[in-house]
Chains A and B, each alone.
Chain A
């Protein structure tokens, strides 16, 4: 790789604009040309290269349990407590609504009208009460007239 091209590629790399293929080319170049002229960059790219080749140690084996059953959703747990709560709430709501519907639907019993005699009796009672009030209404009117005289006299005295 030419020096200029490598510098351009490096610039592109630091700006985060390189493709994975260009990055591999850069790594390979630094891996093959580690002559100590750019020790920090060589170390940086070689560290990345070396890490990408790491594998678990050969003694390390993944142990998978032999008789492990696959975790499935337990059918019994499908009716768990929260689900039952939802069902109960839905039932209560349905019953409540239907009761409300029924009560609104049933016709109200017709209001009983009083008999003519009762109406007459009520009318007479009301009339008697009103007459009683009217009879007592003028009581004390003369006293009010006296008050008027007193007020006029007081006014006259004040003006004198």
Chain B
């Protein structure tokens, strides 16, 4: 893939890929790191991209793997990262970041009741807006697996919302 084609075909995916990374790591700066790392990998492998059938699905999978790696790294070194975060934390967060943090907290609360595969399908469908066919392609699952998992995920979310509505239980 030429540099020009990379800029016209791959770079425009940045917002989608960022959103997807954010939906997994639920941390703005970590999502930015993931996106940067993924784009460097994509850039260095751009010759291979021409042979990929569904480039978007391929990029999404790459973001997913990178996000999971970064989460594992963070879980292995929580103390160090907390220290760095404390040192760099700005007590007066910009407005847009505060809003995003609230939003991410709501997403976290919604997804936390879901098993991993259901959470993955929920993210792709509800947060990324992919169709079932696209999810099948990205996660390499069959039609009924996606359908059943989406149904179960929504059922769990609805039960949770019902509980909150009836008893105020989070």
Residues of A participating in the B interface, judged by any CB pair closer than 8 Å? 13-16, 20, 40-41, 43-44, 47-48, 50-52, 54-57, 60, 62-65, 68, 70-72
A52 touching B19 by the CB < 8 A rule?
yes
User: Are B14 and A56 closer than 8 Å at their CB atoms?
Assistant: yes
Cβ of A148 to closest chain B Cβ, rounded Å: 95
With contact pairs A54-B22, A54-B100, A72-B47 given, residues A62 and B127 touching in the complex (Cβ less than 8 Å): no
On chain A, the residues within 8 Å of B153 by CB distance are: 16
> Judging by beta carbons under 8 Å apart, are A44 and B110 in contact?
yes
Knowing A62-B39, A70-B44 are in contact, say whether A20-B131 is a contact too (CB < 8 A): yes
Give the distance to chain B from A52, nearest Cβ to Cβ, in Å: 6
Q: A62 — which chain B residues lie within 8 A by C-beta?
A: 11, 14, 35-36, 39
**A56-B14, A56-B15, A64-B43 given. 5 additional CB < 8 A pairs?**
A20-B131, A44-B110, A54-B19, A65-B43, A70-B46
Asked if B151 is at the interface of the complex by the 8 Å CB criterion, the answer is yes
Enumerate chain B residues within 8 angstroms of A52, measured Cβ to Cβ. 19, 127-129
Contacts of B19 in A (CB 8 A): 51-52, 54-55
A71 touches B151 (CB 8 A): no
B32–A71 touching, CB < 8 Å: no
> Is B47's CB under 8 angstroms from A70's CB?
yes
Top 9 closest A-B pairs, CB basis?
Answer: A16-B151, A16-B150, A70-B47, A47-B106, A56-B18, A40-B161, A14-B158, A62-B39, A55-B15
- Distance of A122 Cα from B164 Cα, bound (Å): 112
Question: Hey, which chain A residues are within 8 Å of B164, CB to CB?
Answer: 40
Residues from chain A with Cβ under 8 Å of B76 in the complex: none
Q: A47-B107, A55-B18, A71-B45 are in contact. Are A16 and B147 (CB under 8 A)?
A: yes
CB-CB nearest in chain A for B38:
A62
Task: Name which residue of chain A comes closest to B42, CB basis.
Answer: A64
Q: What residues of chain A lie closer than 8 Å to B158, measured between beta carbons? A: 14
Instruction: State which of B14, B45, B151 has its C-beta within 8 Å of the C-beta of A15.
Output: B151
Asked if B83 lies at the interface with its beta carbon under 8 angstroms from chain A, I say no
29 A–B contacts from the bound complex (CB under 8 Å): A14-B154, A14-B155, A15-B151, A16-B151, A16-B154, A20-B131, A44-B157, A47-B107, A47-B110, A48-B127, A51-B103, A51-B127, A52-B19, A52-B128, A54-B18, A54-B19, A54-B103, A55-B15, A55-B18, A56-B14, A56-B18, A56-B35, A62-B11, A62-B14, A62-B35, A64-B43, A68-B40, A71-B48, A72-B47
